[in-house]
């Protein structure tokens, strides 16, 4: 029996081969698309469904691509010809909330924002805050090791997961990690799974580390600058002054202009760059005052509000960057990160690459943690080689400055050719061999992360 | 040429075979000792020394035990016959401090307290705070995934390391991790190395994630209770009330009495159990007031001080527990952790085990994170089997309550026989195979963590 026949035999209506579903599984939100339609989409509703699917895949040597909401930005969940798509989107239960132990147990398909809406009733929250939180799943957040806007103060996914239930390629399930905040029994496989982009196994459950909701009113600051270097320096100065904002976002002139166009706001003065900063917690107002002083001293034109509605309006300008750029063409969203002090230098590199390649690279940055999203905009579905050439220079510049080619989106398909350059050949090979311990046949997310493996 | 001859040939005076050094390398602070003296101690002064030693060990198939200050509590650095001890204690430089990027680069032999004394000049600190911080190395902290008193608020070692330089068994060096706070290129081998207890490679450098020094005055609270269950419930209530103390330590009646004896203080009323709580940061006073109210409502007799000298005096009582117990005999310090809400139940289990086995088990707990240190006291050097039988019940009780057999000390030699019970056989075997990817011959810390491997 073929893999597809066996899937239908064992999983019945969970197996979906409609053209629409197969077509949708070819692409994520990276603007990249696989060469053709996969074999089938399995809509798993239980751990047992996942295990059955993987046993069939193992027995038949069929490739499997695990998929949540498909909101990735690196092609990590794109499925191609001959592959089974294993969707965990329907496994979306909130299994347990323990405010007293500050933990929750979830299935992987739950949306980040839905989870937090439900946790709020208990006075707690899960801190990872990717910009996609309304549409991305916790399982996908774990698979990519997602970040977001709040990381500098509240950490990334890696800091917020206590344990993971993982189904291996052969169908066995492992319970990794702990329900305790401390625990050092053996190797930390939970951390190894976080950010492993589907290469080690299928996350079918997670024990999340929660925080209490932050008390007090937040303050929101915007500061306008006449040059991106000045804004980046000002942001670095805030960190260097020892103040920790909850959010500190930088929009360069091209991004800011695009958002104003999209939202129908008056165009900002030419060349205006904007920082949007939020403080929270018991010292929110005092911190905001100190940040405003640092930004003013660095040449910023500062406004500040404690009004939550106005604060949300100011932040919504930042959150509109991706739709605003998408309105201009197909976007390739890059994701380099550098040490915070190197942000001004990274912006200089971006300006140089723009000049050399004759491109515009609108850039936003999580300025509190040195994570920049330079955006390339082009026509059509395929990233042109001329843009990859510019991206290549971008990655090398970030690595040269002590940084990395991906801060939070992952390697996926789109950046796998640069991975060995950052890791070194020895580490690349060691990592590839570790994946083989988990998945000896190499059926899980083939060709992702490790290009030729 | 023998391994020893080759070491002498290549490393000259770094090779130490004095009886005193060999004898010292047989034991850590666990009260456990290897069956005999190792071959030699190599006092490495550079990465090159480490690489040469490992190449010789690999070529000759000689076992290697890496050692820092030897303050471990699980026998993880105990070296036996035929083994090379590779000491990184002399590699103790603070290589770089970047307050603006909140990072420091260190060699592994630097003492935790020395590091923090030097970082304080820059207004920053490294949060991991094991009780042994005055005498334990950062490399050892990383190898064990150490915790300490401040973890509930400020995290464990795992939360405070950005990257690690690792020399493999064959002498190759890998640079793992990032200088950025975000970074998701490939598998997170930095996290895998943290807590790997010397099985994957030798940590020769680390990039640490720093915090700003906490501003404002700390408040210190002590609360006396007439029963350990009441004190544990009170501590759980503090966490459940959503207040986050920096420190919350519980001393049971036997521990408290032993400390009072050691320090020559008046004996506390019979059966008195004590909580010591510290708050810090901008809301220190407000938090302390709320905690005092919770403790009082739970039957505690509360005193509070903002005087730093008196605060330190009160905390020094907690810090004197280990010397106080050591004065009573040889101690086996256990290290179970349970979800915070299960602390009262765990104390009931300890009382039950005391009754059943006719033992006294003085216990202290990091009550803010559910990590308990039950202490067994005995005569002589070897842990009696009767005590292991009681410890066995203790571990099983912790696992049954959703906990783990080691919160922060590690598995080492002493707990390896229980590891598979917690991990399950499948995960145990997978972890063992991962160590073989790093160290195919299995020369590093043989027999530690994974008992028969």
Identify the three-state secondary structure at position A16: strand
- Is A376 inside a domain boundary? yes
Residue with tokens 């920082």: A275
Q: Are residues B248 and B279 in the same domain?
A: yes
- Is B437 inside a domain boundary? no
The residue out of A28, A57, A87 marking a domain boundary is A87
Cβ-count burial of A262 within 10 angstroms (0-12 exposed, 13-18 middle, 19+ buried)? middle
pLDDT of A453 > 70? The answer is no
Distance (Å, whole) CA A79 – CA A446: 10
Closest CA to A307 of A405, A192, A221: A221
Q: Are residues A427 and A387 in the same domain?
A: no
Which ranges of B370-415 does DSSP label H, i.e. alpha helix?
385-400
Task: Tell me, yes or no, if A171 comes closer than 8 A to chain B by beta carbon.
Answer: no
Tokens of B351: 């009382």
N-terminal to C-terminal alpha carbon distance within chain A: 27
Which candidate in B51, B95, B145, B180 is best for mutational testing of the A interface (most A CBs within 10 A)? B180
Contact A339, A403 (CB under 8 A): yes
For residue B325, what pLDDT is reported? 93
CA torsion A442→A445→A449→A451, rounded to 10°? 60
For residue A56, what pLDDT is reported? 98
Q: Are residues B99 and B162 in the same domain?
A: yes
Distance (Å, whole) CA B372 – CA B334: 8
For residue B198, the chain A residues in CB contact (below 8 A) are none
Distance (Å, whole) CA A278 – CA A315: 9
Read off the CATH number of the domain in which A245 is found: 3.40.462.40
Average pLDDT, chain A: 95
The residue out of A87, A114, A140 marking a domain boundary is A87
Contact B381, A192 (CB under 8 A): no
* Contact check, Cβ <8 Å, A408/B98: no
Q: Can you name the residues that pair with B98 across neighbouring β-strands? A: B103
Distance (Å, whole) CA B232 – CA B180: 39
Distance (Å, whole) CA B370 – CA A182: 8
For residue A178, the chain B residues in CB contact (below 8 A) are 337, 403-404
Phi, psi of A340 (to 5 degrees): -55, -35
A247-277 pLDDT, tens digit per residue, is: 999 999 999 999 999 999 999 999 999 999 9
Q: Are residues B302 and B203 in the same domain?
A: no
- Is A385 inside a domain boundary? yes
CA-nearest residue to B402 within chain A is: A179
Q: Are residues B61 and B11 in the same domain?
A: yes
Which candidate in B185, B201, B369, B430 is best for mutational testing of the A interface (most A CBs within 10 A)? B185
- Is A408 inside a domain boundary? no
For residue B453, what pLDDT is reported? 58
- Is A409 inside a domain boundary? no
Contact A12, A57 (CB under 8 A): no
Helix/strand number for chain B, H first, E second? 16, 18
A 27-86 residues with CB < 8 A to B = none
The residue out of B53, B87, B121 marking a domain boundary is B87
Q: Region A103-127: what's the mean pLDDT?
A: 97
Opening angle at CA A368, ends A140 and A287, nearest 5: 125
Closest CA to B74 of B252, B272, B332, B327: B332
- Is A12 inside a domain boundary? yes
In chain B (453 residues long), the average pLDDT of successive 10-residue segments reads 96 98 95 93 98 98 97 95 98 96 97 98 95 94 93 91 98 96 94 98 98 90 96 92 92 96 94 96 92 97 95 92 91 94 96 96 95 94 91 95 95 93 96 98 96 70
Q: Are residues A130 and A272 in the same domain?
A: no
Q: Are residues A46 and A116 in the same domain?
A: no
Distance (Å, whole) CA B43 – CA B28: 17
Distance (Å, whole) CA B393 – CA B353: 7
Q: Are residues A294 and A434 in the same domain?
A: no
Distance (Å, whole) CA B338 – CA B258: 25
Tokens of B138: 């950062």
Name which of A156, A174, A200 is nearest B427 (Cβ-Cβ): A174
Q: Are residues B73 and B115 in the same domain?
A: no
Q: Are residues B82 and B118 in the same domain?
A: no
**Count of CB atoms situated within 10 Å of the CB of B253:** 21
pLDDT of A452 > 80? The answer is no
**CB within 8 A of B7, min separation 6: which ones?**
B15, B40, B42, B53, B56, B84
**CB within 8 A of A382, min separation 6: which ones?**
none
B 222-251 residues with CB < 8 A to A = 236, 239-240, 242, 244
Tokens of B440: 């195919």
Residue with tokens 């202290």: B364
B 366-405 residues with CB < 8 A to A = 366, 369-371, 402-405
* Contact check, Cβ <8 Å, A186/B240: no
N-terminal to C-terminal alpha carbon distance within chain B: 27
- Is B301 inside a domain boundary? yes
* Contact check, Cβ <8 Å, B180/A369: yes
* Contact check, Cβ <8 Å, A341/B101: yes
Q: Are residues B30 and B173 in the same domain?
A: no
Tokens of A246: 């909850």
Q: Which domain holds residue B9?
A: 3-87
Which H or E run contains A115?
helix A112-120
Q: Are residues A156 and A233 in the same domain?
A: no
DSSP B232-284: HHHHHHHHHTT---SEEEEE-HHHHHHHHHHHTPPPPPTT-EEEEEEE-STTH
* Contact check, Cβ <8 Å, A340/B102: yes
Read off the CATH number of the domain in which B15 is found: 3.30.43.10
* Contact check, Cβ <8 Å, A180/B428: no
DSSP B46: S
- Tally the domains of chain B: 3
For residue B242, what pLDDT is reported? 83
CA torsion B28→B30→B34→B38, rounded to 10°? -10
> Is this complex scored with an ipTM above 0.90?
yes
- Is A437 inside a domain boundary? yes
Tokens of B421: 């019970």
Read off the CATH number of the domain in which B206 is found: 3.30.465.10
């Amino acid at each position: 029996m073929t893999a597809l026949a066996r899937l239908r035999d064992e999983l019945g209506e969970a197996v979906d081969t409609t053209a629409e579903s197969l077509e949708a599984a070819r692409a994520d939100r990276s603007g990249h698309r696989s060469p053709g339609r996969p074999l089938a989409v399995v809509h798993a509703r239980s751990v047992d469904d996942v295990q059955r699917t993987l046993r069939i895949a193992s027995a038949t040597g069929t490739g499997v691509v695990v998929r949540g909401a498909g909101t990735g930005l690196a092609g990590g969940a794109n499925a191609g010809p001959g592959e089974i798509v294993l969707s965990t989107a329907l496994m979306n239960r909130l299994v347990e909330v323990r405010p007293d132990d500050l933990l929750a147990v979830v299935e992987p398909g739950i949306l980040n924002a839905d989870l937090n809406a439900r946790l709020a009733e208990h006075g707690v929250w899960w801190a990872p805050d990717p910009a996609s939180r309304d549409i991305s799943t916790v399982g996908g957040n774990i698979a990519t090791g997602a970040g977001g806007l709040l990381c500098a103060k509240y950490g990334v996914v890696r800091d917020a997961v206590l344990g993971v239930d993982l189904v291996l390629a052969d169908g066995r399930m492992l319970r990794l990690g702990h329900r305790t905040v401390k625990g050092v029994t053996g190797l930390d496989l939970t951390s190894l799974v976080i950010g492993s982009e589907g290469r080690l196994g299928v996350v079918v459950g997670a024990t999340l580390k929660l925080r209490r909701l932050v008390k007090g009113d937040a303050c929101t600051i915007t500061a306008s600058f006449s040059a991106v270097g000045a804004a980046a320096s000002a942001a670095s100065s805030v960190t260097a002054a020892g103040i920790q904002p909850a959010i500190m976002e930088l929009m360069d002139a091209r991004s800011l202009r695009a958002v104003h166009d999209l939202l129908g706001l008056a165009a900002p003065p030419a060349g205006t760059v904007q920082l949007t900063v939020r403080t929270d917690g018991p010292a929110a107002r005092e911190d905001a005052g100190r940040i405003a002083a640092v930004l003013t001293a660095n040449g910023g034109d500062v406004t500040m509000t404690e009004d939550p509605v106005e604060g949300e309006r100011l932040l919504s300008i930042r959150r509109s960057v991706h739709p605003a750029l998408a309105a201009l063409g197909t976007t390739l969203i890059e994701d380099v990160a550098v040490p915070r002090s190197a942000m001004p230098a990274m912006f200089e590199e971006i300006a140089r690459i723009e000049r050399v390649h004759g491109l515009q690279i609108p850039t936003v940055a999580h300025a509190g943690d040195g994570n920049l999203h330079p955006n390339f905009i082009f026509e059509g579905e395929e990233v042109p080689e001329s843009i990859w050439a510019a991206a290549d220079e971008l990655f090398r510049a970030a690595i040269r400055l002590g940084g990395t080619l991906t801060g939070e989106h992952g390697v996926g398909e789109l950046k796998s050719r640069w991975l060995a350059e950052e890791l070194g050949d020895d580490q690349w090979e060691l990592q590839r061999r570790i994946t083989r311990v988990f998945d000896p046949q190499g059926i899980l997310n083939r060709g992702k992360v490790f290009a030729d493996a």
